[in-house]
A and B are shown apart, each in its own frame.
Chain A
Amino acid sequence: MVCACGNPVKDVRKERLEELLKQYSKQKGALIPVLQEAQEIYGYLPKDVMEEISSKLRIPFSKIYGVATFYAQFHLKPRGRHVIRVCQGTACHVRGSAKILNRVESELGIKSGQTTEDLRFTIEPVACLGACGLAPVMMIDEDTHGRMTPDMVPEILKQYE
C-alpha cells in the first residue's frame, strides 16, 4: 500500500495477521482459532485473508471456505460496528422475544442477519444467550441487556454510536 505522499504505509492489520499465522503455523487443529482471530482483526473474513491463511497453513482453500461457512460465528461480508443479538431461546420465546426483535428491526430498518448501510449495526440471529433467568434478553457486543420490553429498545440503541 502506498500513501498519497509516495511513502509506503505499514498495514497494521496485515502485520497482525502474519504474526498470527507464524504463531499457529506448527499447531495441529489451528484453523478455527486462526479464523476467529483473523475475524477479530478484520471484523469479517475477506477472501484474500482466507487465501493468505490457506497458503501459510498449507490447507486447501476449499477446506477453509467449508469451515468458514459451517459455523455461525464466521462472516464473509463486512459487519456493523456493533452486533445486536436478540435471544431466540425457549425461555425468551415464551416471554415474548419476537416483539423485541421486531422492534429492533423496525427501529433500524433492517431484518435479522442484515447490516445497516452506515455500518453501525448488524442484527445477528442467535439461538440462546444462556441468560434465561432474565428473559427476554438482548446482547449488544459483549453487553447483555435483560428483562427487555420493546419500549426499552430505542434508548438502548442510542448508547451505541
Chain B
Amino acid sequence: MEKTKIVVGMGTCGIAAGAEKVWHRLEELIKKHNAPVELMSTGCVGMCYNEVIIEVHRPKEPRVIYGSVTPEMAQKIFEEHVIGGRFIKEWVIAQEEKQGQRFDELPEVNLLPFTEKQKKVVLAKCGVINPDSIDDYLYFDGYQALRKALTTMTPKEVIEEIKKSGLRGRGGGGFPTGLKWEFAAKSPGDQKYMICNADEGDPGAFMDRSVLEGDPHAVLEGMAIGGYAIGASEGYIYVRAEYPLAIRRLTKAIKDAKERGFLGKNLFGTNFSFDIKIKAGAGAFVCGEETALMASIEGKRGMPRPRPPFPAVKGLWDKPSNINNVETFANVPLIILKGSEWFASMGTEKSKGTKVFALTGKINRTGLAEVPMGITIREIVFDVGGGIQDNKEFKAVQIGGPSGGCIPKELLDLPIDYDSLTQAGAIMGSGGLVVMDETTCMVDVAKFFLNFTQNESCGKCVPCREGTKRMLEILQKITEGKGEPEDLETLEKLAYNIKNSSLCGLGQTAPNPVLSTLRYFRHEYEAHIYDKKCPAGVCSALLEYKILEDKCVGCGACARVCPVGAISGERKQPHKIDPEKCIKCGSCIEKCKFGAIVKG
C-alpha cells in the first residue's frame, strides 16, 4: 500500500527557521501512533518567507503545502490531516495537483503570486527530490544527459550544443560557456581540470548554496559533461567552508555517484573517466576570482595573478583548466537532454535561459526566484516579491553584490539581462537582489560595500589595497557629517583610477557601489555634506532625537530603557532628551507606544 509522505524543507533557511524541531516532533508522533507514514527531507523550496515549510502527501490526494509551521502546528497537522484526513485550511499555502486530483478550495502552487511569473528550470528539482537520494535524481532523468553525451556525441558536438544554446556564465561576468570550453578543449595538454566555483561569497546571495543543497547531482553531472567536452579527467568543487550542509550533501552525492558508476573509470563503457574532489574554502572572498581560487586549491595564499596566461592555457598546477559557476553547471545537463533550441527559446536575444535570484532585504516575500531572462525589475520586486514591507516606498535595488550597483526606481522597468544591467551601472553578478526602501541610506550602503571589499582585498596590488581604503575614509567622513564639497570629486577620481588599474575583478569592480549611488542618489551625498542631514535617518552622527510634547504622555518607558540616562521628565509630563548625553541608539523609539519620539 502506498504510504502517506510528510516532506520537511531542510535547507539552511528551513533549519534556521526551526525545521529540525518540527522534524523531531513529527518523528516522535509517527513512532507514538505507529503510523504508516514516511518522513522525508528536501532542499530549499525557495519560499524563505514561509519557512518552516512542510508538505503532506496522502495517497491519491494532491500534495498540500503548509507554511510557517511550528512544532505545535506540526502536531495538529499530523493529528487532523495525516491521521484524520482533513487539511487545516488556514495554514495551507497551496496544493500541487497530482494525477488530476485537486481540492477546489485550495490555491494551486504554480498560480501563487510568488510562483506565477517564475520559470523553474535549474530549481525544478530543488524542494521536490530528497537531495541525499540518488534514486530520486535518477527518477527525474538523472545522469541521462551524461549518458547521451558520452555515448552519442563527440566532445566537439557537446561544445557546439552549448554554444548554440547561448548559455552564459552565471557567476558574474556572463562569458559564453561554450566558447570558454572550446578554449580549454583546444589548449594542448594531456592533463586538464574542470573546476566548479562554489565560493559564493557575495553578501546577499545564496542561490548556489540552495542548488548544492537541493540538487547536488545536477552540478556533478554538468561537471562530468564539461570534463568530457574539454578532455579533463579530474574535477574540483571549491565550496565555502561556511556552507557545511552543502559540503555534506555533495560528499554523499559524489560517493553515491561513484558507487553507481556515474563518476569514476570508463563511464558508460566508454574510455572516458572522471572523478571529482571537494575543496573547502577557508574564508577569503577574493578566492571567487578564478586565478586566486586555483592558488587556493594548490594550498597557497589565495591571491590572483595577472592574465594572460588564462586558465584555459595555464591553470591549476599550470595545466589547462576551466572554471564555471554552480548554476552554469546545473544548466548543462538540461541543455544536453532537451536541446539547445529549447534553452534558447527562453530569455532575450543575447541572454538566454533563466536566472536564479536571491530576493532579500525590505521585501515582503524573501526567497529564491528563478525567472526567465528579460523580465523587468518591477515584475521581480512587486509581482514575485510582493512589494515593500510595511507599505514603505521602494528606493533602490542592489544587484550583483559588492561588484554591482544600486538601481533606482526610475529604472524599475529595466529588463534583467547581462547587457542592460551593465549599462545601468550594475552587473548580473551571481544574482543577489537586495531591496531597499526609504529608510535605507544610500551613502551608508556604499560605505557598507566598500568596507567589505576593503576587508577582503588581498593586498597584492596597490590601487585596490590603498585606493579602497582612501575611498572608505572619505565615506566615513561624509556619514559623520564632516564631508566637504570636494569629496565627491575625489571619490569619483579615485573610483575610476581603481577600476582601471586593479589587478583582478575584485578591485576593478569595488568602486561600483559608490559610482552607482553617486550616479542615481547624488542628492543624498549632498544632503550629508551640505545640510549635515541623513535623509533616511540612518547615519547616527547626523541625527537628533526629539520628543514631541503633544504626543508624549509622560509614561517614562523611554527614560527607563535609555542606557545612558539621557531622558528626564516629571511623571505624566512631556519628557526631554539631553542631546549631549544621547548616544542615538534608538532604544527609546522602539519602546515608545505613542509615536512621540522622532529622529531627524
Residues of A within 8 A of B (CB): 28-33, 35-36, 63, 66-67, 70-74, 88-91, 93-95, 99, 126-135, 137, 142, 144-147
Contacts and interface: CB of A to CB of B under 8 A. Distances in A.
A56 to B, nearest CB: 14
Contacts of A93: 203, 448
Interface stretch (B81-89, B222-230, B280-288, B543-551): B280-288
B456 interface: yes
Given A67-B300, A128-B203, A135-B360, A90 B432 contact: yes
B16 A67 contact: no
B525 to A, nearest CB: 18
Given A29-B299, A36-B282, A133-B367, A88 B16 contact: no
Contact of A72 (B15, B200, B284, B445): B284
Contact of A129 (B242, B279, B299, B361): B242
B477 to A, nearest CB: 19
Interface residues of B, number: 59
B204 interface: yes
A132 B16 contact: no
Closest 6 CB pairs of A and B: A133-B48, A72-B283, A89-B203, A31-B299, A71-B282, A91-B360
B440 A94 contact: yes
A127 B203 contact: yes
A142 B245 CA distance: 9
Interface of B: 12-13, 15-17, 48-49, 51, 200-206, 209, 240-244, 279-285, 296-303, 317, 358-362, 366-368, 398, 401, 432, 434, 436, 440, 445, 448-449, 452, 455-456, 458, 586
Contacts of B205: 128, 130, 132
Contacts of B209: 130
Contacts of A134: 13, 16-17, 48, 51, 366
A144 B284 CA distance: 21
B485 to A, nearest CB: 28
B358 A133 contact: yes
A13 to B, nearest CB: 21
A161 to B, nearest CB: 19
Contact of B206 (A36, A66, A130, A147): A130
Given A72-B284, A130-B200, A130-B205, 18 more contacts: A32-B279, A63-B300, A67-B300, A70-B302, A73-B241, A91-B361, A91-B366, A95-B361, A127-B452, A127-B455, A130-B206, A130-B209, A131-B13, A134-B16, A134-B48, A135-B361, A142-B244, A146-B13
Contacts of B300: 31, 63, 67
A150 B3 CA distance: 44
Nearest to B456: A127
A118 B16 CA distance: 28
B16 A91 contact: no
Contact of A90 (B204, B297, B302): B204
**Which of B242, B300, B359 has the most chain A CB atoms closer than 10 A to its own CB?**
B242
Contacts of A99: 586
A86 to B, nearest CB: 13
26 contacts: A33-B279, A36-B241, A36-B282, A66-B301, A67-B299, A72-B282, A89-B204, A90-B398, A90-B432, A93-B448, A94-B440, A127-B285, A127-B456, A130-B200, A130-B205, A130-B240, A131-B13, A131-B16, A131-B206, A132-B48, A133-B13, A133-B367, A144-B15, A144-B16, A145-B16, A146-B13
A35 to B, nearest CB: 8
Given A130-B200, A132-B206, A32 B16 contact: no
Contacts of B206: 130-133
A149 to B, nearest CB: 10
Contacts of B297: 29
Contact of B17 (A67, A127, A146): A146
Contact of A36 (B242, B280, B448, B458): B280
A91 B301 contact: no
B243 A130 contact: yes
A83 to B, nearest CB: 12
A91 B204 contact: yes
Nearest to A66: B301
A70 B240 CA distance: 15
B358 A132 contact: yes
A91 B399 CA distance: 12
Contacts of A91: 203-204, 360-361, 366, 434
Contacts of B452: 127
A30 B299 contact: yes
A71 B284 contact: yes
B12 A130 contact: yes
A95 B362 contact: yes
A63 B299 CA distance: 10
Contacts of B16: 131, 134, 137, 144-146
A134 B363 CA distance: 12
Contacts of B240: 130
Contacts of B367: 133
A147 B240 CA distance: 23
A90 B361 contact: yes
Contacts of B440: 94
Nearest to B44: A133
A147 B18 CA distance: 11
A32 B300 CA distance: 8
